[in-house]
Amino acid sequence: MRESTLWFWHIIAGAVILVFLGLHMAIMHLDDILALLGTGYANTVSAATVFARSQQTFFMVTYIVLLGAALYHGLYGCRTILFELNIGKGLQKLINWVFTLAGVGLFVYGTYVAIYLYKMKEVLP
Amino acid sequence: MTDEKNHLSNKLGIWGWLGGGRYGLERYAYTLHRLTGLGLLLYFILHIFVTGSRLGGPESWSASMAVYETGLFKIGEFLVFVAFIYHGLNGIRLGLTELGFLMGKPERPLFPYRSSVMRQRPVLIVIMVLAVILILAGGLDFFVLTSH
């Protein structure tokens, strides 16, 4: 794939992360401020709240979108830094393979977790 | 198309991140952007596995959180929040610059010269002020208004 295409998707992924990770950070880490404003979740990391969120379609879908965007953006960014260090073609090829396999592997694992937990609503109260 | 042999060698490597040179403030913003990006990537990969502990059910999740909701991890989590705020806001500036929005229109180089670096600098300053406000709000939430 052309480098300009990969860079284009890096920027698009950044925009996606900004929206969804911004939402995630606000819900998880500005929860007390949001509570003062009369919105948001209480006790955001308690098992009851975490599992309730995981079983909502909106959160399941956004977790997977964020997972894909963040893995692509992060691994491509790291690859760019490494490629700037005058490394040889062989090492570049190795990095491409390792990052692609790691990215796909982590995406499959994270997606499995998100879908598995979403389906848990049939078991949990 | 540029011949690959004619590319300038990146002689300084990572050490080049430390000196702002003629770029000044933006070069340090760039260095910090890269450092926060690498930190966020490392945390994110660990986060995928930590959140994977939910597969073991609510008890497994609660056991994980009992470890991660303590002193040093809480400070680490706050640093991740700070890194995200900086990286995200600076990323908006970089994205807008990349798309040509903050560079100004091409013009004749008449004295006194105005470089495009100076044209986008007010945006950098506004974004950093916004980052400080959000980081303070986060600090308030993390360490003062702690409900969990």
Of A17, A43, A75, the CB nearest to B147: A43
Determine contact: B52 vs chain A, CB below 8 A: yes
Q: For B36-57, what is the mean pLDDT?
A: 95
User: B115 phi and psi, to 5 degrees?
Assistant: -80, 160
- Given its phi and psi angles, is residue A40 left (phi above 0), alpha (psi -120 to 50 degrees) or beta? left
In a domain, B34, yes or no: yes
Q: How far is CA B102 from CA A3, A36, B21, B53, B86, in A?
A: 24, 37, 21, 44, 19
Residue count of chain A, please give it: 125
Our count of domains for chain B comes to 1
ipTM entry: 0.91
Chain A touched by B58 (CB under 8 Å): yes
Give residue B45's pLDDT: 97
Domain annotation covers residue B132: yes
**Most confident stretch, A28-42, A54-68, A108-122, B7-21:** A54-68
The arithmetic mean of pLDDT across residues B39-55, rounded, is 95
Q: Give per-residue pLDDT as tens, A65-86.
A: 999 999 999 999 999 999 998 8
Cβ contact, residue pair A51, B54, below 8 Å: yes
- Residue B4 domain flag: no
pLDDT greater than 60 at residue A125: no
Tell me which residue in A21, A32, A74 faces B141 most closely, judged by beta carbons.
Answer: A32
Q: What is the pLDDT of residues B121-148, one digit of tens each?
A: 899 999 999 999 999 999 999 888 876 5
What the block records as the tokens of B97 is 């610059």
- Tell whether B13 is covered by a domain: no
Q: Is residue B14 part of a domain?
A: no
Burial of B91 from C-beta contacts in 10 A (0-12 / 13-18 / 19+): buried
User: Torsion angle, CA of A50/A56/A60/A65, rounded to 10 degrees?
Assistant: -110
B1 belongs to a structural domain: no
How many angstroms separate the CA atoms of B87 and A63, rounded? Answer: 20
Q: Tell me the mean pLDDT in the region A91-109.
A: 97
Whole-angstrom distance, CA of residue B36 vs CA of residue B82: 9
Q: A59 pLDDT exceeds 70?
A: yes
Average confidence (pLDDT) over B50-55: 92
Q: What CATH number is given to the structural domain containing B86? A: 1.20.1300.10
Q: Do residue A106 and residue B45 have CB atoms under 8 angstroms apart?
A: yes
- Taking CA atoms, A124 is separated from A43, A48, A50, A82, A89, in Å, by 19, 10, 13, 45, 52
Q: Assess contact for B48 and B40: CB atoms under 8 A.
A: no
Domain of B47 in residue numbering reads as 22-145
Average pLDDT of the residues of chain B:
86
Whether residue B9 lies inside any domain: the answer is: no
Interior/surface letters A23-36, b for 16+ CB within 10 angstroms, e for the rest: ebbbbbbbbbbbbe
Answer whether residue B86 is part of any domain: yes
Q: Per-residue pLDDT tens for B80-101?
A: 999 999 999 999 999 999 888 8
